[in-house]
Amino acid sequence: MRTGIATVCLSGTLKEKMQACAIAGFDGIEIFEQDLVTSPLSPENVRTMAADLGLGLDLYQPFRDFDGVTPDLLKANLRRAEAKFKLMSRLGMDTILVCTNVATATIDDDGLRASQLSELAELAGDHGVKVAYEALAWGKYVNDYEHAYRLVEMVDHPNLGTCLDSFHILSRDWDTAPIEKIDAEKIFFVQVADAPKLSMDVLSWSRHYRVFPGEGQFELAKFMGHVVRAGYTGPVSLEVFNDVFRQSDVDRTAVDAMRSLIWLEEQSANWLAAGPEGAASSGAASRRRYPMELATLPKVSEPAGFNFAEVKADDTVQLEKLLGQLGFAFEGRHRTKDVQLWTMGQARVIINEQAASHAEPAIAALGFDVASPVIASARAQQLKAPVVARRVQADEEVFQGIAAPDSTEIFLCQGSPDGTAAWTHEFGEGLERTGQAQNAVIDHVNLAQPWQHFDEAVLFYTSALALEPQPFAEVPSPSGLVRSQVMQTSDAAVRLVLNLAPAQQAAVQGTQTVRKTYQEHIAFAVDDLVATARAAQDRGLEFLQIPANYYEDLDARFDLEPGFLATLKELNLLYDRDADGEFLHFYTATVGSVFFEMVERRGNYDGYGAPNAPVRHAVQYDSLHRT
Ligand code: MG
Ligand code: MG
């Protein structure tokens, strides 16, 4: 698959954009007119630079408001077009995007449109240019790709074809199956963009909220499957207008973009192989070859569970105290490293003091149990995840590690059927183990994402670890709305919550020194939360204090048995109930930027106590701002 990206997706100057695209590994780019007009580079310079960088200049765009106009306007439009065709020849480019008319069309007549497009095609032919005609979702008279293609067929000129843009097609819910009926020779270009399903006008949705494939909710593998089955072999190019990407680091966004195409290519191959709509269903037919070659990746399977969570800290006293009060057992120090292991049942927490000078306690790494760490690591690296190297001694387990977009280190560990981990034997030599009173597992981990890396993080966990994004929620907090995106495995053995914190929460507090004020947590599931809380209370645990108003509201909503309500209140426990079951949980105070949560899931309760999250945010805000 030939990969491409429109320069409009990225921040920076044309030169910076081109360099970033080459480094990320794109085959070609679309030159967005604005980027050229504002560039000090001459068209000849751009042409040379692209050649030196190994980038094809695959599409010049956009050319707007051409067809369905009065004769006077047509004349002006043809003159405008000819100037662009001449410019393209200096750039060494041969394909231009012409979108359906939005602003100046006054005549709704396919016959007239066809004759005007025919004149354009004829002129383009004189300059060796191909016109890719694209239906905008908000085009005045032509807003549907099948309509645009009918016009291309009517004109029947070798220099006029169509451009298929997934956003314009999927935002309108047009059926994608008829793409297969389009003559492949007439598909001059394909653009892909994903988007969250939003209910707003389609122009604003398109201009601000497009995201890279895998970061939104469109069925792009299916769209691409139809394109491949049509016989198309040209560029598959990202055209993503996004307010965040246009102001974040250009090199990093280009890599995120490339990852999305590598992933989409694999997903499209899978869609084609799977049937029933993909290929002629099964057997030999599903392995049918298409003119476009689709690369695949090392196989991925969902992680079976969390292997460990790691907190890094310079001063570990507070963390040790908290874990001990919660009922974790100290399993000793690593035999060669400044690292401690604490466990409760299958829940393992590492406290890492290495390279942590002056570091406030913070979540630094997560281990996941996977079927094959080597395969999972190969996949992640092909998806351009940075490798994390950790120093190990000869007889120690080597972890395959990659860095997530928020720089949390992700370790791919060999899972074992009984949930144990071989590497724990590297800890606590000579230490007498006390045996576990309590069973527990890591239930979920909640990570704060910097605003500029949120979408990237969703794609990272989707593509590298096969976690499935759930519909996102917004949680009110005193400093703004917190966007919360759950990523989980189909059996919910791994639940990762990505929170997009309000910008303010990461900012400087008055004249104080900068500190990470957004808090992250690790939650552990136990069988009996009330008993766990009582034992923790006896050990002197400082619970997050829940306001009395909360319990009044709880009683009003759920009509709880008075004794049970009193217990909840006494122990600062939170409660939720839905059709599937019940949820009990409590939070510890925060150390550094990390706190812990203990939960008990009753029945098939699958949530996270969402109605309680605003209470937690408010109380934490209060304690942070108390002097
Ligand atoms: Mg487009
Ligand atoms: Mg939680």
Residue spans of the domains in the chain: they are 3-287, 305-625
Residue 286 has what pLDDT?
A: 53
Q: How far is the CA of 30 from the centre of ligand 1 (A)?
A: 10
- Separation of 446 CA from ligand 2 center, angstroms? 6
Q: Is the dihedral of CA 551, 552, 558, 560 positive or negative?
A: positive
Q: Which has the closest alpha carbon to 299: 369, 370, 347, 248?
A: 370
Burial 105-138 (b: 16+ CB within 10 A, else e): beeeeeebbbebbbbbbebbbebebbbbbbbbbb
Looking at residue 397, its pLDDT comes to 76
Mean pLDDT within 349-371: 91
> Which-ligand-closest: CA of 610?
2
Distance, CA of 70 to CA of 75 (rounded, Å):
9
Which range (213-217, 330-334, 484-488, 501-505) has the least confidence?
Answer: 501-505
Q: Give, in order, the Cα–Cα distances in Å from 460 to each of 257, 262, 339, 444.
A: 11, 12, 28, 18
Distance 238 CA to ligand 1 centre (A): 9
**How crowded is residue 627: how many other Cβ atoms within 10 Å of its Cβ?**
3
Q: Residue 601 C-alpha to ligand 2 middle, in angstroms?
A: 12
Instruction: Output b/e per residue, 399-421; b: 16+ Cβ within 10 A.
Output: bbbbbbbbebbbbbbbbeeeeeb
Query: Could you tell me which residues are beta bridge partners of residue 446?
Result: 497, 521
What's the chain's average pLDDT? 92
User: Distance (Å, rounded) from C-alpha 314 to C-alpha 334?
Assistant: 16
Q: Which residue, chain included where needed, has tokens 């988007």?
A: 195
Q: Pick the residue with more confidence: 625 or 244?
A: 244
Tell me the DSSP string of 277-337. SSTTSSHHHHT---SS-----S------EEEEEEEE-SS-HHHHHHHHHHTPEEEEEBSSS
pLDDT band for position 517 (cuts 50, 70, 90): low
Dump pLDDT digits (tens) for 127-149: 999 999 999 999 999 999 999 99
Instruction: Give the residue-averaged pLDDT of 460-472.
Output: 94
Average pLDDT over residues 409-414: 94
Judged by its nearest atom, the ligand closest to the C-alpha of residue 608 is 2
Ligand number with the minimum distance to the CA of 525: 2
Q: Which ligand is nearest to the CA of 519?
A: 2
Distance between Cα 465 and ligand 2 center (Å)? 21
Kind and range of the H or E run holding 459: helix 454-465
Cα 417 to ligand 2 centroid, rounded to whole Å: 26
- Homologous superfamily of domain range 305-625: 2,3-Dihydroxybiphenyl 1,2-Dioxygenase, domain 1 (3.10.180.10)
Would you say residue 275 has pLDDT above 90? no
Ligand nearest to the CA of 210: 1
What is the spatial distance between Cα 9 and Cα 331, in angstroms, rounded to a whole number? 50
| pLDDT reported for residue 513 | 36
Residues 6+ apart with CB under 8 A from 389: 401
**Closest ligand to the CA of 135:** 1
Q: According to the model, what pLDDT value does residue 277 have?
A: 63
412 DSSP 8-state letter? E
What pLDDT sits at residue 435?
Answer: 60
Give me ligand 2 centre to Cα 368, in Å: 18
> Which of 469-483, 549-563, 586-600 is least confident?
469-483
Report pLDDT for 622: 86
Structure tokens at 206: 């398109």
Judged by its nearest atom, the ligand closest to the C-alpha of residue 192 is 1
- Residue 396 in this model has a pLDDT that exceeds 80: no
What's the gap in Å between 240 CA and the centre of ligand 1? 9
* Res 375 pLDDT > 50: yes
Q: Which ligand has the minimum distance to the alpha carbon of residue 133?
A: 1
Distance 242 CA to ligand 2 centre (A): 30
Q: CB neighbours (10 Å) of residue 30?
A: 26
Distance 488 CA to ligand 2 centre (A): 14
- Token pair in block for residue 501: 């914190």
Cα 586 to Cα 590: distance, rounded to the nearest angstrom? 13
Mean pLDDT over residues 19-46, rounded? Answer: 98
8 A C-beta contact, residue 384 and residue 255: yes
SS3 356: coil
The H or E element containing residue 627 is none
- Say if residue 279's pLDDT is above 60: no
Question: Which ligand approaches the C-alpha of residue 599 most closely?
Answer: 2
Q: Ligand 1 centroid to 485 CA: how many Å?
A: 28
CA 616 – CA 574 distance, rounded (Å) = 9
Residues 160/185, Cβ–Cβ less than 8 Å: no
118: CB partners within 8 A, 6+ apart: 155, 157, 160
Residue 365 confidence (pLDDT): 96
* Segment 444-473 mean pLDDT: 93
Global pTM reads: 0.92
Element (H, E) at 413: strand 409-414
Beta carbons within 8 Å of 554's beta carbon, 6+ residues apart: 560, 565, 568, 575
Nearest C-alpha neighbor of 582 from the set 561, 7, 500, 13: 561
Q: Tell me which residue has tokens 């217990």.
A: 567
Average pLDDT over every residue of 397-420: 89
For residue 51, report the distance from its CA to the centre of ligand 1, in Å. Answer: 24
Give the pLDDT of residue 627: 53
Instruction: Using the mean position of ligand 1's atoms as its centre, give its distance from the Cα of residue 450 in Å.
Output: 29
- pLDDT band at residue 507 using 50, 70 and 90 as cut-offs: very low
**What does the pLDDT average to over 448-463?**
92
CA of 454 from ligand 2 middle (Å) equals: 18
The 10 Å CB-count burial string (b at 16+, else e) for 568-586 is bbebbbbbbbeeeeebbbb
∠ Cα 301 306 310 (to 5°): 130
For the cut 90, the answer to whether the pLDDT of residue 473 exceeds it is no
- From the options 1.10.3720.10, 3.40.1190.20, 3.20.20.150, 2.40.10.120, give the CATH code of 3-287: 3.20.20.150
Expressed in angstroms and rounded, the spacing between residue 526 Cα and the centre of ligand 2 is 14
Tell the residue number behind the tokens 């041969």, with chain if given. 94
Closest residue by Cα to residue 194 from 225, 226, 163, 220: 220
Q: Which residues surround ligand 1, an ion (CB under 5 A)?
A: 165, 191, 239
What pLDDT is stored for residue 8 in this prediction?
96
Burial status of residue 187 (CB atoms within 10 A of its CB: 0-12, 13-18, 19 or more): buried
Calculate how far, in angstroms, residue 74's C-alpha sits from the geometric centre of ligand 1: 23
**Is the pLDDT at 391 greater than 70, yes or no?**
no
- Tell me which residue has tokens 């935002």: 171
Q: Which ligand is nearest to the CA of 238?
A: 1
For residues 516 and 500, what is the distance between their CA atoms, to the nearest angstrom?
14
Judging by beta carbons within 10 Å of its beta carbon (0-12, 13-18, 19+), is residue 185 exposed, middle or buried? exposed
In angstroms, what CA-CA distances link 106 with 71, 101, 139?
Answer: 11, 9, 12
Distance 40 CA to ligand 1 centre (A): 26
Q: Whole-angstrom Cα distance, residue 306 to residue 304?
A: 7
CA-to-CA separations, 386 to 277, 297, 383, 404, 531, in angstroms, rounded:
36, 17, 9, 8, 43
Pairwise pLDDT comparison (106 vs 245), residue with the higher score: 106
Task: Give the residue-averaged pLDDT of 558-568.
Answer: 97
Q: Report how far ligand 2's centroid is from the alpha carbon of 444 (Å).
A: 7
Ligand nearest to the CA of 64: 1
